[in-house]
Amino acid sequence: MYCINEADKHMGETIANVLTSVPFIVLGLQAPRKNLNCKIYANSLIGVGVASSVYHASQGKMRKYLRWVDYSMIATATVCLSRAIRNENSKVLMAASAFLLPLQPLMVSALHTGMMEVAFAKRALKDPELRMVHNVHKMSSLLGGALFIADDFFPQTPFLHAAWHLAAAVGISTCNKLLQ
């Protein structure tokens, strides 16, 4: 199931949503690239920013397909992050995720985000230097989740989607710290 809200109701929102997609590209360029899995994740973040920007700038019949590309790219990035954090993910899990990604990107995102959250919390318990970063991550994740839901329930409220982009970008920046 996809977000029902089309997000861009006027030119101001379109501009805001395209501009707030750019931080994902920047975060991808800044992400640690210490091994192949980290490089793939970093490139997937760039893909998220590009896909989101193209979707939000689009109009007409292609828009619904580009929305699917946007969601699929987000799901791809969560799978890549999961793999970068935990190289020992089972091959069955990764194959099932790859198979389901084009069909159920939101479900794949939720699963791999949950796995990342557990791994992040475990590392933050062991590493005192990660605790503050993890606290920022938790708060941005809660805010992002609330904004994502609010975007569907209050579609008339302007700029909620752009605010979700920014909260998600803060959360992703903390994941980059986890990968260092």
Binned at pLDDT 50, 70 and 90, residue 61 comes out as very high
* 57-63: long-range contacts, CB 8 A cutoff, minimum separation 24: 57/14, 57/18, 63/6
Total-model pTM: 0.90
Give tens-digit pLDDT for 19-42: 999 999 999 999 999 999 999 999
- Count Cβ atoms within 10 A of the Cβ of residue 179 and give its class: 0-12 exposed, 13-18 middle, 19 or more buried: middle
Domain-wise residue ranges, the chain: 11-179
Cα gap 26→55, rounded to integer Å: 18
